[in-house]
Structure 1
Amino acid sequence: MIHNQHYKKDVKYVVEQSHVVLRMLGIWPLTDRRPNTIEKVTNIFLVIICYFLLHCDMVPGVLYYMFVDDGARERMKMMPPILYSIMAIAKYSNLIVHECNIRRCLRHIEEDWRTMMVSDAREMMQDKANTGRRLFTLCCTFMYCGGLSYNTIMPLSKGSIVTDQNVTIRPLSCPGYYVFFNPQNSPAYEIVFLLQCLCGFVMYTITVAICGLAAVFVMHACAQMEILMRLMEDLVNKDECEQQNIVAKLAIIIEHQIRIRNFLQLVENTLRYSSLVEIVGCTTIICLTGYCIIGEWEDKNIAALCSYVAALTSVIINIFILCYIGEYITTQAEEISLTSCTLDWYRLPTNMAQDLVLVTAFSNVPPRMTAGKFIDLSFKTFGDVIKSAAVYLNLLRQLTE
């Protein structure tokens, strides 16, 4: 065991991106102490504000969809923001419910950074941490750029519309039915427009937070898997086999392997329902957004078309990152299985070689990241999502034409 004197700095580097977005949502769990009264009140206030903003799109949008009789195309355009609001509320609630699990994952990461198993473990973990930060940055860039362009550029690009009754209508990113006031009058229009932009910001922050946590946790587990493979190779090293501490080394391997499995199971329990909402909901959103893109193309509205394309790209990139993370952990687990099966076990004493069979058998059952326990996060799932969305889009066009 090697004590890392810089573990606090390393842990801060690993989680600082997720720390920022979770603090904005009021759900960052402290790992070293209990929150004081001011911090509790601040977090509760932020949660209330976030829930209020999330309902600013959903409630008026649902009322508009139920009580205002618009054409089929206009009703289809309303569905993506309403559905995305519902998804955001579900994912945000899941994060709040699993705040204790997030805290346990963060403590697990801190313990792994504090004590190193091999001499170059810090370099391995930093390499995976850099990969996780790049994935977070990629998701953050596409979500905020694509999402905020949908909330700002698309409604502003349409300009004011004058009806036959000489009534001026200023468009919003999500039309809504407001019972107590007319959103077309100033300053009501400006307030509603600002609230919709803030609502979009909160929704995209929730998505980025989930993607960032998944990247941080899974990449940390992959680093620990690389360390596990190094421990396995050192066990049968010709120089090491002559020492008397083979039993202790085998015990360390078994404990480390179980620790990795427990950590991945905790991550799975924390994020599986959010991932399920993301996969199922975004499949529908890709279909509906594709329908809107075709409509804007026919209307030759280039600005709105670009906004829809940017929003569609951000959704696809987010699903791809989740599937890439799941595929990455599966590939890393398969490498552990291959390493355990190709060890020079004959260098070990007979009784130790027999014990190694159990380690090999355990390694041949690779862990998987799933969405709701029944959808594997993998490149195959990403392909299935795109194909399903294309099929639904084709069916939707046939039903509405």
Structure 2
Amino acid sequence: MQKSEININRPVDYEEYVNLSIQWSRLLLKHLCLWPYSSPISRLKQYLHRLMNIICYTILSTPFIFCSTFIYFEVDDIYSKLKQSGPLIFSTTAITKYYFMVVHKADISECVEQIKWDWKNTTNDRDREIMIANANFGRKLVMVCIFFMYSGFVFYNVVIPFSVGRITAEDANITFIPLIFPFTSYVADARYSPLNEIVFSLQVLASYLMHSVASAACSLAAVLAVHTCGQMQVLMNCLRHMIDGRSDMNERVDGRIADIVSQHVRVLKYVTIYRFITAFSFIRCYLLTLEFNFFRASLSFLPLRR
């Protein structure tokens, strides 16, 4: 892994700066087969990516199907329905986020290409310092988001079930691992081995994907927002030198004004795409995820469902 700090006094390829900005987001999105490729790929790779997207959809949808069936057909009172609805809505938001990231892959690609263009065409040391400072802040923000997301995954999906251990069924002489998500008995009785272990493992995998989707959405939103802040600061720095100019700017005042206007238009276009992506796929779903994570955490101290 490359270091997050870069010495601006030495020559360095712009790709290293790009990596500073998008490394963690790229890792998470590639993990989910959502990272857009800058160059055309073969038809076989396209089919493989679509197949992986379908597999991810299937894994994410499985808890939703069984959980909704359980709540609708097997739960009678309102309190129990409310108690079981936390994991259901959490899985729903994960599916929604994954869908929107697949749909907006072209917009994500355009934002990534804009980030690359900005780093490639930044020649002033002060502008580069501003962009590096914002990239480092975004990197730290992404790491914090990833830490809290996966900490929640480990606590709820690993620590709680294994700390409780196998429990004894009230109506049968069997012990079973308490499941993370409700599982309908219309399909099978998931208390019996080896089905119990298989269902539990699949639910852990699905929950891992859900938290990965949330981490990817949060990290991408953070990277795009921080890069926008950096570009606005760079633009303000250019405005300070609009009259007197500097070594990397146009010699004529009207030329400098034209360059600043052109840069402003690029920033506005980037912000428009970024706001469109985050407004419909990341922020709203992420807020819902936080709300129902707290709701789900409060329910985790109640008796675990079978």
Same fold (TM over 0.5): yes
**How many residue pairs get matched?**
290
Partner of residue 37, structure 1? 43
Partner of residue 292, structure 1? 299
2:261 is the counterpart of 1:254? yes
Equivalent in 275, 278, 282 of residue 286 of structure 2:
278
Give how far 1:220 is off: 1.2
Structure with a larger share of its residues in helix = 1
Deviations 1:261-318 (A, max 9, x none): 11011101122112222224543553x336526xx3xx7x8xx8xxxxxxxxxxxxxx
The code of the aligned residue for 1:203 comes to: M
Partner of residue 87, structure 1? 93
The code of the aligned residue for 1:207 comes to: A
1:291–1:27 Cα change, 3 Å: closer
Give how far 1:188 is off: 0.9
Give how far 1:239 is off: 9.0
Partner of residue 174, structure 2? 168
- Quick check: 2:93–2:288 contact (8 Å CA) kept in 1? no
- Quick check: 1:22–1:209 contact (8 Å CA) kept in 2? yes
Secondary structure of 1:235's counterpart equals: coil
**Structure 1: where are the runs of 5+ without partners?**
305-401
Distance in 2, matches of 1:233 and 1:164, equals: 75
2:134 is the counterpart of 1:121? no
- Quick check: 1:60–1:178 contact (8 Å CA) kept in 2? no
The code of the aligned residue for 1:221 comes to: T
Distance in 2, matches of 1:251 and 1:216, equals: 28
2:190 is the counterpart of 1:183? yes
Equivalent in 206, 213, 222 of residue 206 of structure 1:
213
Equivalent in 9, 26, 29 of residue 22 of structure 1:
29
The code of the aligned residue for 2:287 comes to: I
Distance in 1, matches of 2:292 and 2:201, equals: 27
Give how far 1:229 is off: 1.1
The code of the aligned residue for 1:93 comes to: Y
The code of the aligned residue for 1:146 comes to: G
TM-score (norm 1): 0.67
Aligned residues with identical type, % of pairs = 26
Deviations 1:134-179 (A, max 9, x none): 1111011110111232112223333333344344353111121053
Partner of residue 204, structure 2? 197
1:200–1:165 Cα change, 3 Å: closer
Partner of residue 105, structure 1? 111
Structure with the larger RCO, 1 or 2 (CA within 8 Å, 6+ apart): 2
Give how far 1:18 is off: 1.0
Give how far 1:69 is off: 3.1
Distance in 1, matches of 2:137 and 2:61, equals: 35
Distance in 2, matches of 1:219 and 1:278, equals: 17
**Structure 2: where are the runs of 5+ without partners?**
1-10
Deviations 1:321-365 (A, max 9, x none): xxxxxxxxxxxxxxxxxxxxxxxxxxxxxxxxxxxxxxxxxxxxx
2:25 is the counterpart of 1:9? no
TM-score (norm 2): 0.86
Distance in 2, matches of 1:42 and 1:248, equals: 48
- Quick check: 2:25–2:216 contact (8 Å CA) kept in 1? yes
After superposition, where does 1:1-400 map in structure 2 within 5 Å? 6-31=13-38, 33-69=39-75, 73-116=79-122, 118-168=124-174, 170=176, 171-237=178-244, 245-274=252-281, 275-280=283-288, 282-286=290-294, 288-289=295-296, 291-292=298-299, 296=301
Deviations 1:60-87 (A, max 9, x none): 1111101113665543332111101000
Distance in 2, matches of 1:87 and 1:161, equals: 30
Give how far 1:90 is off: 0.6
Give how far 1:109 is off: 0.7
Higher alpha-carbon Rg: 1
1:141–1:277 Cα change, 3 Å: same
| Coordinate RMSD, CA, aligned | 2.5
Deviations 1:216-252 (A, max 9, x none): 1111111111111111111244999xx9611111111
1:203–1:249 Cα change, 3 Å: same
Distance in 2, matches of 1:238 and 1:46, equals: 52
Partner of residue 8, structure 2? none
Secondary structure of 1:116's counterpart equals: coil
